[in-house]
Structure 1
Amino acid sequence: MALADSVPGVSGGTVAFILGFYDNFVDSLNNIISEDKISRISALRFLSKIGIGWIVGFVLSVLFITSIFEKNIYEISSLFLGFIIASIPLIVKSEQKALSKNKKNIVFLIIGIIIVCTMTCFNPVKNSSQSFSININNLNIWFIGYIFIAGMIAISAMVLPGISGSTILLIFGLYAPMLTAIKQVLKLDFRYLPGIIIFSFGILVGVFATVRSVRYLLRTFRPQTIYCIIGLMIGSIYSVIMGPTSLEVSKSPMSMSTFSIIFFAIGCILVPALEKLKSVLKNKNTESENVEANYNS
């Protein structure tokens, strides 16, 4: 999830949805502020496992993968395309009951596609002159509010499958500055720490506001929401193709000549492999629970 969140094009929510723990992820985020102590403890255990992996993945991404991403943008974009395209049929299959209830809900799929494509059309390169430095010397009341709001909107996108929070940061002109700030803090240059703290508060506010809305929609309007999520994922195909144009040093959109069939194939193979791994782990977990139940009885 962290690797997907840290580069423009794919959302960490997409990864969670593909691997089948998106509902649990959203419920856990909501339950962390629940009055029910058991639900809160269970949510903390689940999120701590994801959180450790996310932090490790994000630090690795900031230190290494972002530079590789820019140098090998077309190969990585091809990988993401394979990842997205191979995952959509799996999601349709897993949500077949919800999707078959009312075919008129396909309008929400179209809405999802339009949302991502419209956001992608706001080319961040046009805003490159607004690139900021997030150190303590540049912070004023307006810039603090700007960073806070950017954090709220970016994390909302990261939670939703199909919309890349990194692309949102690019549109705000904060993608490169935020990565630079995190790199500097990791190098013990704490002039950038206040900006990161402000951004983090925006993330906290945004994630709980978004999660409650998404959880409500999944429980009350699941067919419409699933159609919209699939639309967001389909729209993200266009976002990935246009991804090279949103780099700090803009490149041409991916074309047939820059498309890598090898990396695309790896992405297509990786998704069923992860799906299979999920099934194996689920079966082992069920077997362990049955053995424990029989032992206790």
Structure 2
Amino acid sequence: MQYIWLVIKGLFIGISNIIPGVSGGTMAVSLGIYDDIIHSFTHIRKEFKRSMHVLLPILIGALLGVAGFSMIITWLLDEHTFYTAFAFVGLILGGLPILSESFKESLIEDKQKITPIHVFLFVIFLALVAWMGVADVSGSGPDTISLGAGPLIALFFVGLVSAAAMVVPGISGSLLMLIMGYYYAVIYAINGFTSNLTTFNLSELIPYTILLTSYALGMLIGIILISKVIDYFFSSYPSFTYAAILGLVTASPVAVIANTNALNELTTGNAFVKMIIALVIALACYSLTFAVGRTDDVTEELPEETHA
């Protein structure tokens, strides 16, 4: 059962990485598995078996989320932007109580009280994400992409940078891809891969597979590199790290609303009714994340690493 929960949580992480302004790291925090993911990546050599028990189900879920929902999410963002954005706002905010508890526990373990440094870190990282949400930082780039040496190299570095951001809560990998001008090209490749996979069109499937493999390789390296940095801060400065993450996550709804231009929909139709419906959706999604995040720590039930 613990593996099913990890797949489900990975599914949410995968879906969240498709949305500009939504961070996969934020969703991992909201679902209560962020620390486990970071630890598994950074200790994959020493605790290979246990790490794979954590990472594989999450990876499977994330891949299912990206491959299975990229078209749906694209459609929802196009046709129901306002409600979709508020759904993700609810999903993000649902993890704040759990994150706050982790912050309090880190203070207790370190025998600390909230200091000006904690407040400074919270405010500065909150401001960073809020700025990224409202700033006009979108770059221009291709809407499609084809197989070639240039695109392969570009996708590798796009994957490297965006994956590093995906690991950091509050920093959206999709938003960075928009800034670099490759968001729509990557979505195009993912949609091309999934559509040709369902029809078994190998002649078209192979180029998309090669393109996405280059992107995935960059993502893998980016995740490993940034995970080591974050793991160091968690180990050495846990309460300060949680304070910074709290700032990142708290400001994430601003980035989601701003980067999807969700509020533009209030200019047409009955704005009051739309807002009520959106708040109900957000509350439902908040409750969902809150409930899923508070499931028993499934990683505690996984096999322990044994050494000869």
Amino acid at match of 1:133: T
Does residue 112 (structure 1) correspond to residue 128 (structure 2)? The answer is: no
Match of 1:50 among 52, 58, 64: 58
Who is 1:29 aligned against? 41
| Aligned equivalents of 1:241, 1:276: Cα separation in 2 | 24
Contact kept in structure 1, 2:32 and 2:294, CA below 8 Å: no
Amino acid at match of 1:131: P
Match of 1:152 among 160, 173, 186: 160
With the length of structure 2 as denominator, give the TM-score of the two structures: 0.78
The runs of 5 or more residues in structure 1 that have no matched partner are 246-250, 290-297
Per the TM alignment, residue 71 of structure 1 is displaced from its structure 2 partner at its CA by 1.2
| Aligned equivalents of 1:15, 1:106: Cα separation in 2 | 23
Contact kept in structure 2, 1:244 and 1:253, CA below 8 Å: no
Write the mapping of 1:35-114 to structure 2, written as runs, cut at 5 A: 36=46, 39-99=47-107, 101-104=113-116, 105-114=118-127
Who is 1:198 aligned against? 214
Amino acid at match of 2:208: Y
| Aligned equivalents of 1:252, 1:276: Cα separation in 2 | 28
Structure 1 residues 273 and 119: CA distance shift in structure 2, 3 A:
closer
Give per-residue Cα distances to partners, 1:194-242, cap 9 Å, x unaligned.
3322212211210111100011111111111111111111221221121
Among all aligned residue pairs of Structure 1 and Structure 2, give the percentage whose two residues are the same amino acid. Answer: 24
Who is 1:292 aligned against? none
Contact kept in structure 1, 2:129 and 2:252, CA below 8 Å: yes
| Aligned equivalents of 1:200, 1:280: Cα separation in 2 | 30
Structure 1 residues 278 and 201: CA distance shift in structure 2, 3 A:
closer
Who is 2:276 aligned against? 261
Contact kept in structure 2, 1:113 and 1:233, CA below 8 Å: yes
Per the TM alignment, residue 272 of structure 1 is displaced from its structure 2 partner at its CA by 4.0
Q: How many positions carry a matched residue from both structures?
A: 273
SS in 2 for 1:260: helix
| Aligned equivalents of 1:185, 1:21: Cα separation in 2 | 29
The runs of 5 or more residues in structure 2 that have no matched partner are 1-12, 304-308
Per the TM alignment, residue 268 of structure 1 is displaced from its structure 2 partner at its CA by 2.8
Q: Which segment is superposed worse, 208-217 or 148-157?
A: 148-157
SS in 1 for 2:95: helix
Contact kept in structure 1, 2:102 and 2:242, CA below 8 Å: no
Contact kept in structure 2, 1:158 and 1:164, CA below 8 Å: yes
SS in 1 for 2:169: coil
Q: Which segment is superposed worse, 193-202 or 157-166?
A: 193-202
Does residue 134 (structure 1) correspond to residue 150 (structure 2)? The answer is: no
| Aligned equivalents of 1:76, 1:255: Cα separation in 2 | 14
Per the TM alignment, residue 281 of structure 1 is displaced from its structure 2 partner at its CA by 4.1
Contact kept in structure 2, 1:84 and 1:237, CA below 8 Å: yes
Q: Which segment is superposed worse, 94-103 or 253-262?
A: 253-262
Who is 1:216 aligned against? 232
Who is 1:238 aligned against? 254
RMSD of Structure 2 on Structure 1 (CA): 2.8
Does residue 7 (structure 1) correspond to residue 7 (structure 2)? The answer is: no
| Aligned equivalents of 1:16, 1:232: Cα separation in 2 | 13
Amino acid at match of 1:182: I
